[in-house]
Structure 1
């Protein structure tokens, strides 16, 4: 069986984006040299790649949370920009944001996860 287990973002400021994700979501990112940091969870992990020679694409990673309102507040406080406010869709609720480097990500909660949806 194949499954998504890693999302890598091209970034110009690895330390700055590392700090953003640690502040916004409480994640711990290990440093693998000056141009790379990543979560190491044995689940779906996030890598921040500062080597511009390896940049090829951008996509929309989506992060599942337990409290979407708290996540929106934390993302904003950490310096993220909300690009789509919280909206409902079949199965849950979601919002989109741009991190300080300009990557767009989604944050979602399953229906019933916080009493809404």
Structure 2
């Protein structure tokens, strides 16, 4: 609907979204906890979109808690596999360092 509104030249649409930072910002501040566990649990219970959707699905009998737990386990496995994939593979040869940076994949000196 938004793209149709904009394409019909009725004007732009502005969306303001509020987010919550659960974790540290980068590796430069590891182990720094910005929030207590209780605060994070409270935020998740009140505004986490995934948790809210799960609750709505279960409460409206569109999903079963056990099935959602099974899906969570599968998703976590997939994420773990995706996170290990880059470190498990061998590093590419140095001459491929510039691949996918320039349109003609021309080499450059390192």
Q: TM-score, normalised by structure 1?
A: 0.19
Q: TM-score, normalised by structure 2?
A: 0.20
Structure exhibiting the larger radius of gyration computed from Cα positions: 2
Task: Pick 1 or 2: higher relative contact order, CA cutoff 8 A, min separation 6.
Answer: 1
Structure 1 or 2: more helix by fraction: 2
